[in-house]
Structure 1
C-alpha cells in the first residue's frame, strides 16, 4: 500500500538581521507545521538572519564604503554557525516533534575568516544535522557577499520520508547540478528561493517534470519596512529599494502539476500529502538518469570531494 508523506512549505519573513529572534520564529513555525501533521518541513532561502534584498553593502566596482563595511559586519554578526545555538534549537524541536526539516541560513565559519555562505541545513527527526548544502554559485550581487560551496554537499539523503535533496534558488538553473540529484534518485526535491516572479513557478514545474519528482518550492514573504533602523542608517542612500518580496511558494507533482500554491502576498503554509508511488509511476515514460540518459553520448562527472583552501597533514 502507498505511504503518504505529509509535508509543509512555510512562507514567512525573518526578523531581519536578528539571529535569535528569527531562530525562535523558525522553531515556532516548525512546531506549528508539525502540529498540523507535517513530517517534512521546508523554510525559505537565507531565512536566518535574512536575504538582504536591496542592500549593496556600499560596494561598487573599484571601491567599498566605510558604512558598507560596517553593515557587512552587522550581517556577519547575525549569521549562523553550524553547529551552534541556532542548529541546537532547531534540532531540539525536530527531535521533540519527530520531524525532518530544512532551513535556509546564512552560514559563517569563524575559523575560516570573513566569508559567508548561503546554505540549506537539513535536520533529522533525531535532532541531528543531516547535512549542510552551500549554494554552488551565488547570483549577481550575491557574489559580493557570499562565497561558493563545493560538490561535497551535492547529495540526496535516504530518509524515512523518502529520498530528499535540493538546490538553492538559481542553482536550480544549473542543468548539471540538477542531473547530479536526479542520478541519486531524488524523490522530494527542495528548492528554497528568493525569486518571487511568475517565471519561478514555471521553473519548478519544469524541474518536477524533468526529474519526475515532487518539488517543494519555498520563498519568503517580506513586507515593506522590515529592515531595522540601524541597517537603514548604514545603508544610507542605498536604502533597500526592492526590499519587499511577495512570495510564490508552491508544491508540484512529479508530472509538473501544481498541487499547492502558489502563495503570494502573505505569510502562510502550504501542505500536501505526497505519495512516493507517484514518482515511480511518472518515470515509466521518462527517466532522466535512466532510460533517457544516453550515457553513450553524454557523460557527467561530479567532484564530490570537499575543497578546503588549506590542508594540514
Structure 2
C-alpha cells in the first residue's frame, strides 16, 4: 500500500433492528470483509448499532404517556450500547486483528449521564482496537428529540490515520458550519459523515463538504426496509401499515474527492461494502487555491470557540 494513500470501505448495512448482539455480529462480518480487502478504515451509518428509531414517525411517537411508546423506548434502552460494560469489545478486537480503524454509529446509553438516557454517537476506534473518541450528536433532529438527548463537544476531535487526518459528524450535524469548521481547524482532510440513509441526504451535501473543506468526504448510510422490522415488536402492525415505501432508508453511501467529484457514486437500495483507495496529494492540489482554515482564512477577524468538556451533572469535591 502506498504510504501516501489510504484504502477505505463504506459499509452500507441494515441492522438486525433493535438487536444489539446480532447487529454486532453483522458489523464484525463486514469488518472482516473489509480486512480481507485490505481496508485501513471502515465506516458504518448513523446509529446502526442497534438501529434508527423509525417507530417515532410511523406510530405517532409524540403521544404523551402512551403505553406503546414507553415500551418501545424501554426496548431501545435495553438494546443500546453501553461502552463501559464492554459492548464494543468484540468489535474492537476484530479491528485490531485487521489493523484497521473504524467510525461506527451507535445509540449510546452512557454511565456518565446516569445510564438511562440515550445519545446518538459516532465512535472512532483506531487500528489497535482502542476507542479514541465518542462524539455525541450535538442536536438530535426533529422527532429524534423524543428519544435521543443532546450531546456535547467532547468528541469534536480529529485523528491521524496514515497520511490523513480524519474526523466525523452525525447526520445533520454535517449541515452545521461551525461543527465542520471545528474539525477543519484541527487539520481534517478526510471527513466521515454518517447517516441513517437516503440519497436525498447524501447526494448534494457530500460534494459540497468536499469542495468547502478541500477534503475527501465519505458519506456512509444505513439501509432499512419494512421487511427488516421484527414481527414481535409492540408496534409491529402500525409500523407495517405506515411503511408505504419499499425503503425507509435507501442508502446513498458515496465518496467524494477534494474537488467535489464522486470517487464512489451514491449507492442506492443494496447492502454492501464499497471500497476505494484515496491519494493524499489530491488534498494539497485543491488547497492550492482555497484552504478554509489556512491561507484563505482571517483568524484576526473570525474565530471559533469550542467547549470540549464532557457534560455531567455531578461535580465531586473532597
> TM range, normalised to the smaller chain?
over 0.9
What secondary structure is seen at the aligned counterpart in 1 of 2:228? Answer: coil
1:44–1:219 CA contact under 8 A, matched in 2: yes
Provide the residue aligned with 1:288 in structure 2. 292
1:71–1:235 CA contact under 8 A, matched in 2: no
Higher alpha-carbon deviation: 215-224 or 137-146:
215-224
1:58–1:65 CA contact under 8 A, matched in 2: no
Q: For the residues of structure 2 that align with 1:195 and 1:125, how far apart are their CA atoms?
A: 26
Seen in structure 2, the aligned counterparts of structure 1 residues 160 and 199 have a Cα distance that, compared at 3 Å, is closer
Provide the residue aligned with 1:229 in structure 2. 231
Provide the residue aligned with 1:129 in structure 2. 131
Choose the corresponding residue for 1:256, options 237, 257, 260. 260
1:10-25 alignment, distance < 5 Å = 10-25=11-26
Choose the corresponding residue for 1:198, options 197, 200, 203. 200
Structure 1 unaligned residues grouped into runs of 5+: none
Residue-by-residue CA offset, 1:239-294 (whole Å, 9 max, x unaligned): 55366211100011011110012100110121111111111221110000112222
Provide the residue aligned with 2:81 in structure 1. 80
Higher alpha-carbon deviation: 286-295 or 177-186:
286-295
What is the RMSD computed on CA atoms of the aligned residues? 1.8
* Residues 1:116 and 2:118 are matched in the alignment: yes
Q: For the residues of structure 2 that align with 1:167 and 1:75, how far apart are their CA atoms?
A: 22
Residue-by-residue CA offset, 1:48-106 (whole Å, 9 max, x unaligned): 10012243576326x22011101111111110011334310000001111111111110
What secondary structure is seen at the aligned counterpart in 1 of 2:134? Answer: strand
Provide the residue aligned with 1:160 in structure 2. 162
Residue-by-residue CA offset, 1:140-164 (whole Å, 9 max, x unaligned): 0001111111111111112335211
Provide the residue aligned with 2:307 in structure 1. 303
Higher alpha-carbon deviation: 237-246 or 286-295:
237-246
Q: For the residues of structure 2 that align with 1:312 and 1:177, how far apart are their CA atoms?
A: 30
Seen in structure 2, the aligned counterparts of structure 1 residues 199 and 80 have a Cα distance that, compared at 3 Å, is closer
Aligned length: 311
Choose the corresponding residue for 2:271, options 267, 276, 298. 267
Q: For the residues of structure 2 that align with 1:195 and 1:20, how far apart are their CA atoms?
A: 22
Provide the residue aligned with 2:99 in structure 1. 98
Residue-by-residue CA offset, 1:80-136 (whole Å, 9 max, x unaligned): 011334310000001111111111110012461421011111111111111111111
Structure 2 unaligned residues grouped into runs of 5+: none
Provide the residue aligned with 1:66 in structure 2. 67
What secondary structure is seen at the aligned counterpart in 1 of 2:310? Answer: coil
What secondary structure is seen at the aligned counterpart in 2 of 1:64? Answer: coil
Seen in structure 2, the aligned counterparts of structure 1 residues 38 and 177 have a Cα distance that, compared at 3 Å, is same
1:261–1:270 CA contact under 8 A, matched in 2: no
What secondary structure is seen at the aligned counterpart in 2 of 1:24? Answer: helix
2:10–2:275 CA contact under 8 A, matched in 1: yes
Provide the residue aligned with 2:90 in structure 1. 89
Seen in structure 2, the aligned counterparts of structure 1 residues 70 and 54 have a Cα distance that, compared at 3 Å, is closer
